[in-house]
Structure 1
Amino acid sequence: MKIGHDHPFLTLCPAINEIIKPLRDTLNIVHFIYLKSYDDGRRIYLSNQVTPFKAYLDEGHYAYGYCESNPQDYVDQAALWSTLPNQHIFEFRRAHFNLSHGISFSFKNKEGYSEFMSLCGDANHPEIVNAYFNHFDFIKKFRSVFLKKAENIIEQLEPHALTLPHKNETPPLFRQANTSSLKKGTMKVEHHELNCHVILSKQQSQCFRLLLEGKTAKNISVILKLSPRTVEEYIKIIRLKLNARSSKELIAKYIR
């Protein structure tokens, strides 16, 4: 789906950049995207930057973006981009626009659509992730501020909405909670800061359980018959997903 530079989604980028000034000033946000996704396939996108957003449509990333599934499948949740399984879109943004360390929010609406808000920073500044946690309430409240200030803009864009097919699959971090849908051996762990659930793979779940039992990485490698390097990598992924700076901090967060 290619759109011209005169499309309202693009010409309104400067106005959106001004509206999100509180986010830029408080969190050093570089890129922002708002999506209003209707059940019938219509989409309204708003962004503060022309080039990265245009590339998202031009490259067809909407076909597998994490906010592009059927709106009815989403609940109120948040997900760090780094915890999502398919990193192609995020790697593209980093390589072409130096954008990374993002977070996306989904907001369930009962009136035939759901809304999404995504933001990210400069790839050279991973510390922005800490800012998300330290200002989490501020970010969620900003949604109301944004909708109020952009109300007329969104209304004006209704006739220009793009109709696109919904992706057939909803990513685990956004899926409606349903433990029966999880593969055998996986674990659903509550993310304390984001108030959502993170899915750990079978191997990650095994490592996580053993960590909470007080086992070291070396112990775990022997028990699971894995190389120490593989175990360390699993633990690193778990820490990233659950926002823990060390194994000690991870255990302190989840030990019962």
Structure 2
Amino acid sequence: MTEPDRGRYSGPTWTSGDATDLSVTSDRRLLNRRPPRCQADVNQIKIDDSWRVLRIQAEFVDGFDALLHVEDAVTVFGSARTRLGTPEYELGVDLGRAIGEAGYAVITGGGPGSMESVNRGARQAGARSIGLGIELPFEQGLNPFIDTGMNFRYFFARKTMFVKYAQAFVCLPGGFGTLDELFEALTLVQTHKVTQFPIILVGRAFWGGLVDWLRSTLVDEGMIDPADPDLLSVVETPAEVVAVLDASRAAREEA
């Protein structure tokens, strides 16, 4: 019996594990730069970076084209490590279904775990189910419950799509990636780069300690304004998520 083919995406292209170094991604090539040793190295870096700029531009254009007709959408983040059959996975399914039934398209990171569960729920509701994946040396591939999917090489291009086409962020329990997206969204709202944009955390037991720390440490130390933690809504159920989304939508329509 043959072993399944290991490999990874390089942008939208799948490459066999036998044909590529799985640890070297486009982001890593961009960010892990070594000083040039000679003029020939300098010349090659200039050529490589010029082509890289065109590839980055193309990734933005492809993303804009793919999501052009997305109107009312909610981006949901959560752990790629959530296992099928667990209460956490079922919460994601219920959340995706509730958001879809409320009339929103659903956008996730396109991967497994909580992302897959939310896309599954959106599919069950007949809502548009969108997945925006990323080239990684692990946790690879788009899940099978996506109607519109795109795999990105660069995190910053992907992050733009998460915000540009959504009216809200919802965070299920997750790790560094979820926290990264959460605090980026908070910064955009705090600095008024995006407006009328609710950020909803699902699970008081998971998120409560973080919110308490924001209030007790960052506010007390003067690092953020006392009202800044109120940019977060902490809820427990999909129905509460939908209530926050609908209130935000009503406020946008009245503005």
State the TM-score bracket (shorter-chain normalisation): under 0.3
TM superposition score normalised by structure 1 = 0.25
TM superposition score normalised by structure 2 = 0.25
